[in-house]
Amino acid sequence: MPPHTTQILLATGNRDKRDAFRQLLHGLPLNPVAPEEAGVEAVPDESGDTHEAIARDKAAGWSRAASQLAIASDGGLVIPVLGELWESRHTHRFAGPAADDSERLERLLELMAPYRAADRQASWVEAVAIAHNGRVLASWEVRGGTGFIADTREFQGPVPEFWAFTIWQFPQFAKTYNQLTPDERASINDHWARLGQLVRRYIRSVFVPPPS
């Protein structure tokens, strides 16, 4: 592992996801940088057949473009009741390439309109990969807690980039995922919390401090 001054590229254009990456990397001897700070662009392959495969391709592509360490992820909603009408890998793209986040949100609510109660259950799967100069070093995929898709859109204002989290509810807290506190997220087997543990364990296991 490179010394503690080494940068790690936050391989995404999604600002909300960059914040999630920074939380994963908090306390580690790495310097997170956004693509624009590193002066790099990449259009990685997202055709993999699992979230982990896509995350690995993203990490490899971005790290190759930046010639450095990179962290990338891919995730989506798992909605069993929709069957073949829904694929978690296409959560961001299911409404078409021209749709914005507000349109994606409304389209999902339309798809779920016929369903009630337990049929509206949904979970989230997320994969994270770390690569260096185009070579994947490690990757993980986890499924988090189970919530429910809301009946309606209950908030006003701009839709955040993690749009699905604004209609993914947890009745035990009477909140959507994006409203949960860190402690509440930990209690639902949160995907980001679990990935943070895995990432930090990996980095600490392979990082060798430079001589003093």
For 42-134, list the strands marked E by DSSP: 69-78, 121-132
Share of the chain above pLDDT 70, in %: 92
Q: What is the pLDDT of residues 50-72, one digit of tens each?
A: 999 999 999 999 999 999 999 99
* Helices and strands, counts by H and E, the chain: 6, 7
Largest pairwise CA distance in the chain:
64
In the predicted structure, residue 174 carries a pLDDT above the cut 60: yes
Domains and CATH numbers, the chain: 7-206 (3.90.950.10)
Q: Are 159 and 101 in contact (CB under 8 A)?
A: yes
For residue 181, what are its two tokens? 């506190």
Q: How confident is the model at residue 16 (pLDDT cuts 50, 70, 90)?
A: confident
Query: What pTM, to 2 d.p., does this model score?
Result: 0.90
CA distance 212 to 209: 8
